[in-house]
Amino acid sequence: MGKILIVDDTLFMRTLIKNILFTGGHSIAGEAGDGEEAIAKYQELKPDLVTMDIVMPKMNGIEALKGIKAIDPGAKVIMCTAVGQEQMVKLAIKSGAKGYIVKPFQAPKVLEEVKNVLAS
């Protein structure tokens, strides 16, 4: 079970991911609504894993991922985005993402991916 930072610009998606993670027995380290806040919260909270939306205001998820990786090369980040933006996969993986989930997603699969990344 891990301590997880949820990064998404919509409250609805943050709440949904939070609920899914709770049902899997994980705890929530914190939440962030954009890339800049994500980097700040990562430094402050030192979570075990980050779920990171890609399309966000101020700083997008890919830039935030790079920022987090610059602070902690071992950071475990799962990218999260909408259907049709899967071409971002290569860029995200190249930038150090450990996993990738596509909205809309199903709870058991998300928990499986979180478990796999935490164990990696």
Partner 1 sequence: MKEVPVKIEFNKEWIVTKLSVGEDRMLLPAPINKEILYKSISDVSEKKNILIITVKTDTEVVYKILSVEKVLQFLKIHILPVCNAYRLMAYFMSPAIRGGVMIKEAAWEKGSVVVVKSGIWFVSATKQISVPLSEVAAIELTKRDVQGKPTDVIRIDYLDAAEVVSSLVLCPLSTLQVLYNFLKDTTKSMDMKGTELDGVDQQVAMLVYSGMDSHAIENMLNIPHKQLDLIYDKILTLGLAEVVIIRREIQLTPKGVRYISDATKSQTN
**Helix (H) / strand (E) containing 116:** helix 107-119
**Stretch touching partner 1 by CB under 8 A, among 27-35, 51-59, 66-74, 98-106:** 98-106
Helix spans in 1-83 (H): 11-23, 35-45, 61-71
Using the rule CB under 8 A, is 110 a contact of partner 1? yes
| Residue 42 engages partner 1 in binding (rule: CB under 8 A) | no
90 binds partner 1 (CB under 8 A): yes
Our CB check for partner 1 shows the closer of 47 and 99 to be 99
* Contact indicator for 50, 30 with CB cutoff of 8 Å: no
The residue whose two tokens read 């920022």 is 67
Per-residue contact track with partner 1, 45 to 84, x per CB under 8 A?
Answer: --------------------------------------xx
> Interaction with partner 1 in 17-36: which residues (CB under 8 A)?
19-20
Asked if residues 86 and 103 have their Cβ atoms less than 8 Å apart, the reply is: no
Residue 6 zone, left/alpha/beta (φ > 0; ψ -120 to 50; rest)? beta
* Structural tokens at position 83: 């259907």
- Contact residues for partner 1 (CB under 8 A)? 12, 15-16, 19-20, 83-84, 86-87, 89-90, 99-110, 112-113
